Amino acid sequence: MSCQISVERHLPAAVAVHSLALMSELAIEVRDLRRSYGEKEAVRGVSFEVRRGEVFCLLGPNGAGKTTTVEILEGYRTRSGGEVRVLGRDPATGSRELREQVGIVLQTCGVQEDLSVEELLEMYGRYHLRCRPVDEVLALVELSEKRGERARKLSGGQRRRLDLALALIGDPELIFLDEPTTGFDPAARRQAWSTLQGLRSLGKTIFLTTHYMDEAQRLADRVAIMARGQIIASGRPDELGGRDLRPAEIRFSLPAPWSLSDVPELPEISREALGDRALVMTRDPVHAVHLLTGWALENDVDLGRLAVTQPTLEDIYLELTGDASTDQVGSDQALQGVSA
C-alpha cells in the first residue's frame, strides 16, 4: 500500500488521476504484443484487455503462444515489441510492488520439498506486506488436514492446491493460473472450480489458461482463442464465434416403420438421417421441438434419445483452431524437411 502512495507522489496530479482511473477499470492491457525467438515469432501482435474483477480465459492449442504471452504478463519473459500494462505497471521492469499484488500458479513449479504445507504458507506469506491468514487460505483450497505434511509427501492434486494456496497467501488483486486443473480427476476439478468461483466473488481478477473447454465455459467471463501467435477470436463463452447465433441441433431416433419423411414440416434449415438417428438443424428450436413432439404424441411415436443442443464451445474452438493446427503441423513438417 505504501508502494502506491510513493508512486503517486512523483506523478503530476493529472497523470495520477488518469492512471488511477485506468487502474480501477483495467487489470491488464496488452497492445500489439510481439515476441520472437530467433527467426520464429511466437507471439505476433496480440492485443486484449482484462477488466478488474473479470475472469479472463486464454484458450489455444499447444504451441499457440499462450505460455509465452502469460509469462510476459507475469514478468518472466521479455517482449520483443508492443505495450503491456499489468495493474498499471510494466511487468518487464520486475517491480516488487507489482509482485506484491499478483499471485502466480505456474504449470509445473516445485516448492521446497522438506518443508510442511503450513511452513511453506508462512514462509511465502512473509514476503508480502499484506497477507491472508494461513488457516483461511488452507480452508479455501481444502488442504487444512494436510497442514503438517511435508511437501514431498503430497499427491498431485494436493500439490496443485498448494500451488493455488501459495498464489493466494499474499492476498493478490490479480491471479494468473496456467492450466490449474491439468491432471485432476473430475471430482477434484469440480472442487477447484468452486474455489475459483469463490475467488471471483471476492472481486479478484483471474487470468486463466486452459485446454478444457468446459472449464472455460464454466468459469470465464470472457474467452480469447489464440493460435499461431495471434488471437483469432474473443468474446463471452456463449457468444464466441457467433455461437449464440448458430442453429440448434435436434436429434432423435424413429422406431420402425416410421421414417424421417413422415415427420411433418418443421421450422428447419435441414434434416438428415444418420443411420437410425435423425438430425434436424433449426434456428427456432422452441417451435421445432413443440411441433415434433406434438406430432409424436398424436401418432404415438416413441422418439428415442431426443436431444436439443447448441454447438458447444469445443465445437467452435475446433472449428476456429482447426485450420491453425493443420497449418502448424504443415509448417513443422516443412521445417523438419529443411533441417533434414
Partner 1 sequence: MTTTTSARSSLRRDLGLVAWQVRYEQRSYWRNRGRGVFTFVFPLMFLVIFASLDKGARISSRGNIAYDDFFVPGILAYGIITTTFMNLAMNTAILRDQGVLKRMQGTPLPTSAYVAARIISAALVTLAMTIVVLGLGASAYGLQLRAAQLPALLLTLVLGTATFTSMGIGLTRFISTAESGPVVVNLLVFPLTFISNIWFPTDSLPRFLRTIAGIFPIRPLASGLQYVFDPRHARSSLLDGRSLETLAIWLVIGMYLMVRFLRQPQGEVA
11, 17, 21, 109: which one contacts partner 1 (CB under 8 A)? 109
Those residues whose C-beta lies under 8 Å from the C-beta of residue 125, and which sit 6 or more positions away, are: 131, 132, 134, 169, 170
Query: Residue 59 CA to chain centroid, in angstroms?
Result: 6
In this structure, how many other beta carbons lie within 10 angstroms of the beta carbon of residue 15?
11
**Residue 292 near residue 254 (C-beta atoms within 8 A):** no
Q: Does 207 participate in binding partner 1 (rule CB under 8 A)?
A: no
Size of the site for partner 1 (CB under 8 A): 32
| DSSP single-letter state for residue 267 | S
Among residues 77 and 218, whose Cβ is nearest to partner 1? Answer: 77
**Residue 16 near residue 8 (C-beta atoms within 8 A):** yes
Phi, psi of 133 (to 5 degrees): -65, 140
* Minimum CB–partner distance for residue 290 and partner 1 (Å): 55
* Minimum CB–partner distance for residue 274 and partner 1 (Å): 48
* Minimum CB–partner distance for residue 128 and partner 1 (Å): 6
In single-letter form, the type of residue at position 129 comes to L
Residues numbered 164-183 forming contacts with partner 1, rule: CB under 8 A: 166, 170
Q: Does 104 participate in binding partner 1 (rule CB under 8 A)?
A: yes
* Minimum CB–partner distance for residue 194 and partner 1 (Å): 25
Q: Does 96 participate in binding partner 1 (rule CB under 8 A)?
A: yes
Q: Does 7 participate in binding partner 1 (rule CB under 8 A)?
A: no
The grid cell for 315 is 465445437
Among residues 128 and 251, whose Cβ is nearest to partner 1? Answer: 128
Residues numbered 120-139 forming contacts with partner 1, rule: CB under 8 A: 123-124, 126-129
Largest CA distance in the chain: 83
Q: Does 201 participate in binding partner 1 (rule CB under 8 A)?
A: no
136-170 exposure pattern, b = at least 16 Cβ within 10 A, e = fewer: ebbebbbbeebeeeebeebeebbbbbbbbbbbbbb
* Minimum CB–partner distance for residue 220 and partner 1 (Å): 23
Interface positions with partner 1 (CB under 8 A): 2, 6, 71, 74-78, 96, 99-100, 102, 104, 106, 108-115, 119, 123-124, 126-129, 150, 166, 170
